[in-house]
Structure 1
Amino acid sequence: MNVPDLLQQIIDWEKSVAGRLPDWAAPSGLILGVTGDGDGGYECTPERSITFARTGADGIHFAWIADRRGVSDDLDEAPIICVSPMDFDNPVWAVARNIRDFFSLVFYGHDLLLNNDFGSREHYEKAQREQEQYDAESPYLQAWGEETRKLALEAREKFELAPIDDPYGYMRQIRSEISDLG
C-alpha cells in the first residue's frame, strides 16, 4: 500500500523533532502510521477503511474510506473518518475531505472537532472554551505548550497547510456530503 507523501513527510518530520517534546508526545498529538492491513482493530471500523492515525485513548482512530488493498484509491484525496469504539450510539463519522484538510485541522488546533461529534455549534463552542480553560491550567501545557505551539506553526509552514474557515461549518458540511461510511 502506498502511503500518501504528506503522511510520510509528517511522520518523518515528527521523528526529526522528537527531542523537542517529551518521549510520549508528538507534535500532531497522534500516533501516525499504517500498521498491518490498516483494519483499525475494532469491529466498528468500516471494512473499506485504512487506519493511519490513533489518539492513544479509548481506541479512537482515523482512517481513509478506501479499499484496504490501496490499489485503485488515491489516498491523497480519500475522505477521512474518525472511529470512536467507545461511542456506542455513533462510533463513526466523517472528519475531513482529504489528508491535507485533516492535518490542517490538526495543526491549527481543531482536534476537538476531530475527536467528537458535536450536535450543535453552541455545544462545540462551549467545549472549546472548556478546553482552552483546561489548557491554560494544565501543568503539561505550562511546561511544553510554547514548544507545541512552535511545532504546530512549523508544520503549517513546512507542509503548506492552510487554515479552514469555520471549522465547525466545514465539519457539518462534510458529514452531510460523506454519508456512506460503511
Structure 2
Amino acid sequence: MKSKTKITIIVITVLLVILVGIRLGSTVISGNTRANIQKDRKILDVTVVGTKVKLGDIEKYITLAGEIRGIEEANALPDVPGKVDKILVSEGSYVKKDQPIMYIDRSQIGFSYNLSPVRSPISGRVGSIYVQEGQFVAQTTPVATIINDSIMEVVLLLPETYITKVKKGDKAIIEVT
C-alpha cells in the first residue's frame, strides 16, 4: 500500500514539473518576458483642467421612438364581396368623403352585376392600400386606410422610469426621419 502511494506521488510530481517546464519554455520562446511586457505598455498623457462652479441650467433629454398619425383615421370597407376590379387612387393621394377609391366586381358565373364602388369614409389622404387588383375581398375586409392629416398627433411609448420626470407642458423636440 505504501509503495502505491509513493508511486502516485512521484508520478504527480513529475507531471507538475513537466507542465511548469512547458509553460516557462513557451513564455521564453514567445518573448513575453516581464521586461517585454513592460515595454509594450503605453503611457498616456492626460491633461486635467479644473473650473469654478457656475450656476446654470441642466437639461435632460430622452430619445424615444413613436408613431405620427392623423387625429382621425378610418378604414374603407366594400359594400359587397367580390374581386377588386380597379384601384383608382394610390397611397398618399388626397380623397374627399364618399369619393370612389376602387371598384369591386361581384359578378358570378351566370350572373352579371354592375361594379360596386368602395367609397372613402372621410376626407383625407390614403395612408395604406391593403389589396391589389384581382384580389377577392369580403365585406369585412379593410381595403384601405384614410387619414385626416389636417391635425396630426405623435404617439410615444414612455417607459415607466420616466413617467415622474415628464410633465404636461414640458417642451419637446420632434424629429421625423
Q: TM-score category by the smaller chain?
A: under 0.3
Higher strand share: 2
Larger Rg: 2
TM-score scaled by structure 2?
Answer: 0.20
TM-score by length of 1: 0.19
Higher helix share: 1
